[in-house]
C-alpha cells in the first residue's frame, strides 16, 4: 500500500534564528514525524526571516508549499508547530480551512493532538487557543521591542539597520567617518556642478576611492550619497549620464 505523501513547511523569524530554533531543527523534527507516522516526505519549503503574521505575498515558501499541495500528489502539510503556519489566529484558521476544503490536513510534528483533519470541538478549541496565545506573544514581543527602541532613541543610541554613508558605528553610537564624509562632500560638489552620476562614479574610481561595498562605484550608489549630502533643487534631478 502506497504511503501518504506530504510536504513540510518551516519558518523562522529573525528573533527565533538568534534563539536557536533554526530551519534545520524544524526540518529534522518534521522528517522524524513523517518517518514515525508512515508519511512519505517529498519536499520541504522554507521561509527564513519571515514573521508569522506576514501574508502570502511575502512568504514565498508557504505559497510554494500551498501550490505544491494543490497540484498534488502530496496531500498532507507537516509543520514543526502550528504557529509556524501563522502567528495570527485569523490567518491560521483561514489557511487551515482552505487546506481542509481541498482535502489537505495540517499536521504538527510537535503537537500531534492538533491534527486539522477532525471536527472534534475539543481539538479545534485547543488549536485556536494555542493560535491566540501565539498571537498574544507576538504582540508582547513587538511591544517590548518598540519600548526598547523608544528608550534607546531618547538616549541617542543606535536603533539598527544600515548605518548611513559618512558615518560608522562605534560602541553602539553612530559617529562621523572622516574618510566617507570627504567622499560624500566630493560627490555632492560634483553633482551640484552638473556632473552625471556615471561621470562621478568613473571619477571616484580613477581617483582610487573605494565604495563601502563591492568593487566599483554604481551610479545608484552615487545618487543615494549625493542626495544624502546635498539638497537637490526641485526640477533639477540628478543626471544618470
CATH 3.40.50.1390 domain span(s) along the chain: 4-139
159 in Cβ contact with 150 (< 8 Å) = no
pTM to 2 decimal places = 0.49
What's the CATH number of domain 4-139, 3.40.50.1390, 3.10.129.10, 3.20.20.450, 3.90.226.10?
3.40.50.1390
Q: How far apart are CA 228 and CA 68, in angstroms?
A: 45
**Contact at 8 Å (CB) between 113 and 126?**
yes
Q: Which three cell numbers stand for residue 192?
A: 551640484
Backbone angles phi, psi at 187, to 5 degrees: -60, -45
What is the rounded CA–CA span in Å between residue 13 and residue 52? 8
Angle at 202 between CA 199 and CA 208, to 5 degrees: 140
What pLDDT does residue 36 have?
Answer: 93
Q: Which of 135, 122, 126 is nearest to 108 (CA)?
A: 126
pLDDT score of 16: 47
* The pLDDT of residue 162: 73
pLDDT of the residue at 194: 87
- How confident is the model at residue 24, as a pLDDT? 86
Catalytic positions, written as ranges: 13
Residue holding cell 498534488? 72
Closest CA to 57 of 12, 66, 143: 66
Give whole-number Cα distances, 101 to 94, 128, 170, 187, 225, in Å: 11, 18, 55, 59, 52
The pLDDT assigned to 45 comes to 92
Rounded distance between C-alpha atoms, residue 115 and residue 105, angstroms:
7
pLDDT reported for residue 3: 82
Task: Give the chain's residues under pLDDT 70.
Answer: 1-2, 14-21, 50-57, 87, 113-161, 171-172, 174, 230-241
Pairing of strands 173-176, 76-79: unpaired
Cβ contacts of 27 within 8 Å, gap of 6 or more: 8, 10, 44
Amino acid at each position: 500500500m502506497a504511503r501518504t505523501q506530504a510536504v513540510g513547511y518551516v519558518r523562522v523569524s529573525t528573533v527565533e534564528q538568534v534563539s536557536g530554533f533554526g530551519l534545520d531543527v524544524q526540518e529534522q523534527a518534521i522528517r522524524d514525524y513523517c518517518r514515525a507516522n508512515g508519511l512519505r516526505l517529498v519536499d520541504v519549503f522554507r521561509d527564513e526571516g519571515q514573521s508569522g503574521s506576514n501574508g502570502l505575498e511575502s512568504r514565498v515558501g508557504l505559497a510554494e508549499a500551498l501550490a505544491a499541495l494543490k497540484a498534488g500528489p502530496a496531500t498532507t502539510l507537516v509543520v514543526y508547530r502550528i504557529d509556524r503556519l501563522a502567528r495570527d489566529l485569523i490567518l491560521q484558521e483561514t489557511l487551515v480551512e482552505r487546506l481542509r476544503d481541498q482535502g489537505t490536513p495540517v499536521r504538527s510534528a510537535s503537537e500531534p493532538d492538533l491534527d486539522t483533519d477532525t471536527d472534534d470541538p475539543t481539538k479545534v478549541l485547543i488549536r485556536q487557543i494555542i493560535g491566540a496565545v501565539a498571537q498574544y506573544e507576538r504582540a508582547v514581543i513587538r511591544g517590548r521591542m518598540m519600548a526598547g527602541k523608544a528608550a534607546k532613541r531618547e538616549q541617542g543610541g543606535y536603533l539598527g539597520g544600515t548605518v548611513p554613508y559618512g558615518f560608522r558605528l562605534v560602541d553602539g553610537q553612530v559617529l562621523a567617518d572622516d574618510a566617507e564624509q570627504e567622499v560624500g562632500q566630493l560627490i555632492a560638489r560634483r553633482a551640484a556642478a552638473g556632473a552625471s552620476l556615471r561621470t562621478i562614479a568613473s571619477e571616484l574610481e580613477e581617483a582610487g576611492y573605494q565604495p563601502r561595498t563591492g568593487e566599483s562605484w554604481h551610479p545608484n550608489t552615487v545618487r543615494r550619497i549625493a542626495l544624502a549630502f546635498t539638497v537637490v533643487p526641485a526640477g533639477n534631478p540628478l543626471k544618470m549620464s
